[in-house]
Structure 1
Amino acid sequence: MINLLIMAKCLSSICAVSHVAHSNDFLYGIIAIPARRSLEREKIDSLEKLSDYSEQEIRQLRGFGKNAMEKLKNHMKEHHVSFKN
């Protein structure tokens, strides 16, 4: 019984440590992780920074296929932001 308590205590501390929230939640739940990571690599972490790019420039990044672009454009439209021309 004591071993189970010790084990449970160790597991709960491991879970608490390994579940760290990431500071970059930009577009979390909007587009898939590969597309979000591509934006992160380009230092694009806000809609304002995203609006400095053309749709074609973003489409060339890894993870931005038809589906991701549609979701991104819809999200931008909801927030009254658009790509540069």
Structure 2
Amino acid sequence: MTPLDELPRIGRPATQALQLAGYTGLGQLAGVPRATLAALHGVGPEALRILDEALAEHGLRLG
């Protein structure tokens, strides 16, 4: 289980895109619209799926 203060392993481009957008931990992504994250260069369907699953482990989800 990924801690809420860390990002799961989603690949370097997606991780860098999230960090540049100010998201440094999984918990910060709860409630963020999928479209907002998908618009970031490097965040694709696979990264979104992984983020969804990691959030679900904590009872959270993307917006």
TM-score (norm 2): 0.75
Identity %: 25
Which amino acid counterpart does residue 56 of structure 2 have in structure 1?
A: K
Unaligned runs of 5+ in 2: none
1:3-18 map, 5 Å: none
Shift of 1:48: 2.7
| Higher RCO, 1 vs 2 (CA within 8 Å, ≥6 residues apart) | 2
Normalized per residue, the structure richer in helix is 1
1:42 maps to 21
Q: RMSD in angstroms over aligned alpha carbons?
A: 1.8
1:26 maps to 6
Corresponding residue pairs, total = 59
2:53 maps to 74
In 2, Cα distance between the equivalents of 1:76 and 1:48?
8
In 2, Cα distance between the equivalents of 1:37 and 1:78?
23
